[in-house]
Amino acid sequence: MAKLVKDLMHTGLITCKPTATLGQVAVLLNQHHVHALVVTDRDGRTLGLISDFDLMAGEWLSSDEESLTVMRKLTAADLMSQPVDTVEGNTPLSEAASLIMEKKVSRLLVTENGKSVGIISLSDFVSSIAGAIKTRRDTVGDVMSDAILVCRGKTPVVSAARAMTSAGWRSVLVVDAKGKILGVVSGHDLMKLVKEGVDEKLIVRDIMHPALTIDINASLREAADMMIQNYHHRLVVIDKEDPDSFPLGAISTFDIVAEMARPDSVWQKS
């Protein structure tokens, strides 16, 4: 029997009030290692979702003091996304995967009889792979994205953040002049700067973290396990025979969900 959304979703919604400041939202996202919060009213009713992407799109990355002053006064209600994309708990996972791909979102709020009971996200789909994928199934190279977002270590943080927002990516790869990987700047790295604002002299090398890499011939199961264990949504794809060369691409949770949504995928079969 095909699995349902309620079999894979995670309960225990992480919420915030609509009056929460953007700084408070950033702290909650960082503390709970999540990419979005459910914004609820005093009666627990869902008003919207606010994600790390919503924060990144804000003008708090500006070095202009006037813009920063305005942003510090904004709340979750000002930047949250609404209406919220929802799915019923009894919906087959295949339909939920297709819905995520169709709407180009990272998560769906799960409801039962009109009440919010959980969230199903890209990470939940990836978590299901470790037990479902066959050992000799597709490799990273079969589903990875050839296009990657890169910048040099001396790139201003503001420029990198704007590029991420424009491209719809959660991270940017930092390389040296020869294309060797130096690190990665992710949405979580940027969240730490929300409270103080960004010094215009701050460069990506100051806030980047080490990149997680995976060989192009590795299995999807290996990729999924690495993402789950390290709380990462994207891995840099390399040729292990020449690890210092320019990266070959990237594989993300979204790439794996797209594979799961294919009609001939193993996850679509009962």
In the chain, what are the domain boundaries?
5-128, 140-260
Tell me what pLDDT residue 136 has: 41
Cβ contacts of 53-58, under 8 Å, gap ≥ 24: 53/165, 53/170, 53/187, 54/79, 54/80, 54/81, 55/22, 55/25, 55/26, 55/29, 55/79, 55/187, 55/190, 55/191, 55/194, 56/161, 56/164, 56/165, 56/187, 56/190, 57/165, 58/22
Domain at 5-128, CATH homologous superfamily: CBS-domain (3.10.580.10)
Which has the minimum average pLDDT: 87-96, 103-112, 145-154, 185-194? 185-194
Is residue 103 predicted with pLDDT exceeding 90? no
Per-residue confidence at 58, pLDDT binned at 50, 70, 90? low
Closest by CA to 106, choosing from 76, 84, 139, is 84
Q: What average pLDDT does range 126-146 have in this prediction?
A: 67
Per-residue confidence at 267, pLDDT binned at 50, 70, 90? very low
Residues whose CB falls within 8 Å of the CB of residue 174, separated by 6 or more in sequence, listed in order: 150, 151, 152, 153, 155, 181, 182, 183, 184, 185, 204, 205, 208, 211
Report how far Cα 205 is from the mean position of its chain's Cα atoms. 21
Show the tokens assigned to 54. Answer: 């919503």
Q: What average pLDDT does range 103-123 have in this prediction?
A: 87
Instruction: Confirm or reject CATH 3.50.50.60 for domain 140-260, answering yes or no.
Output: no
Dihedral-angle region of residue 223 (phi above 0 means left; psi in -120 to 50 means alpha; beta otherwise) = alpha
Cα–Cα distance between 57 and 194 in angstroms, integer?
Answer: 12
Is residue 4 predicted with pLDDT exceeding 50? yes
Cα–Cα distance between 41 and 48 in angstroms, integer?
Answer: 10
Query: What are φ and ψ of residue 239, in 5° steps?
Result: -100, 115
CATH topology match: 5-128 vs 140-260? yes
CB atoms within 10 A of CB 135: 6
Which of the pair, 228 or 96, is modelled with greater confidence?
A: 96
Residues whose CB falls within 8 Å of the CB of residue 92, separated by 6 or more in sequence, listed in order: 2, 3, 4, 5
Which of the pair, 127 or 189, is modelled with greater confidence?
A: 189
The number of residues making up the chain comes to 270
pTM of the full structure:
0.58
- On whether the CB atoms of residues 228 and 127 are closer than 8 A, the answer is yes
Q: What average pLDDT does range 151-172 have in this prediction?
A: 86
